[in-house]
Amino acid sequence: MVQPTPQTSDALHRRGLMFILSSPSGAGKTTISRMLLDGDPAIRLSVSATTRPMRPGEVDGKDYHFVTHAEFDRMVEDEQFLEWAHVFGHSYGTPKAQVKAGLREGQDFLFDIDWQGTQQLYQKLETDVVRVFLLPPSIDELRRRLTGRGTDSAEVITARMERARAEISHWDGYDYVVVNDDIEECFAKVREILHAERMKRARQTGLIGFVRELMRP
């Protein structure tokens, strides 16, 4: 008689995933990202390298890996990034080694990147990538949110709006698209996407051995 095993499907080993949240500036990806990180201990933020100056309250190695332009260029030449891009005069890149090692161990990574970075990641690690794009309920609402921050000049807001329209044009390059009209409802939908993607058969690498054990006479 086969003895019951204490291991359940929830405890089976699985390969981690790369959960990408993209949106035009002001559409809510930073807020949703923080809510995911605060409410789900199984996912952590992928820490990017950047050439931009450290802001007050930021910690090197936690918020970003702050590097010089020369260091960043060397990392690009040495192919140490999964993806990298220049944004508003600064460079950002995703270190390759830490992500690949984490995925093998079942670690999920959250990426707060634009469509260019998303395309680069998808081209290199397609099966590990889940792409989610957040849309604002309207362009007028997006402008209102950007203006309401009170941190940018009119010229910067105009530039962000132009970039937002460009980013929105790539909405069809994502697996999921969610309209962020209500932050709590949007978060619930994003969380459901994450949970469903974790349960995909291809990611549950421990299933093969588990099912074989179930089928043994």
Give tens-digit pLDDT for 118-143.
Answer: 999 999 999 999 999 999 999 999 88
Query: For residue 42, how many C-alpha atoms fall within 13 Å in the half-sphere facing its CB?
Result: 16
Structural domain boundaries, residue 142: 9-44+106-215
- In the 8-state DSSP scheme, what is residue 203? G
Tell me: the pLDDT tens digits for 86-128? 887 899 999 999 899 999 999 999 998 889 889 999 999 999 9
Rounded to whole angstroms, the Cα distance separating 72 from 92 reads 9
The answer to whether position 22 is within a domain reads yes
The answer to whether position 179 is within a domain reads yes
The answer to whether position 150 is within a domain reads yes
The answer to whether position 167 is within a domain reads yes
Q: What is the pLDDT, as a whole number, of residue 4?
A: 38
Q: What is the pLDDT, as a whole number, of residue 73?
A: 96
Q: Identity (one letter) of the amino acid at 123?
A: Q
In terms of Cα–Cα distance, which of 49, 26, 21, 23 is closest to 37? 21
Q: What is the pLDDT, as a whole number, of residue 145?
A: 87
Q: Which residues are registered as beta bridge partners of 83?
A: 94
Residues present in the chain in total: 217
75 and 67 Cβ atoms separated by less than 8 Å: yes
Q: What is the pLDDT, as a whole number, of residue 126?
A: 94
The answer to whether position 86 is within a domain reads no
| CATH number (domain holding residue 17) | 3.40.50.300
Phi, psi angle pair for 73, to nearest 5°: -60, -40
130 and 191 Cβ atoms separated by less than 8 Å: no
Q: What is the pLDDT, as a whole number, of residue 7?
A: 39
C-alpha to C-alpha distances, 51 to 20, 83, 88, 142, nearest whole angstrom: 22, 15, 11, 28
The answer to whether position 101 is within a domain reads no
DSSP, collapsed to helix, strand or coil, labels residue 3 as: coil
DSSP, collapsed to helix, strand or coil, labels residue 200 as: coil
Q: What is the pLDDT, as a whole number, of residue 187?
A: 97
Q: Specify the residue for token string 């974790």.
A: 198
The answer to whether position 162 is within a domain reads yes
Structural domain tally of the chain?
1
Q: Which residues contact 72 (CB under 8 A, 6 or more apart)?
A: 49, 50, 51, 84, 91, 93
The answer to whether position 97 is within a domain reads no
Given a cut of 70, the residues of the chain with pLDDT beneath it are: 1-10
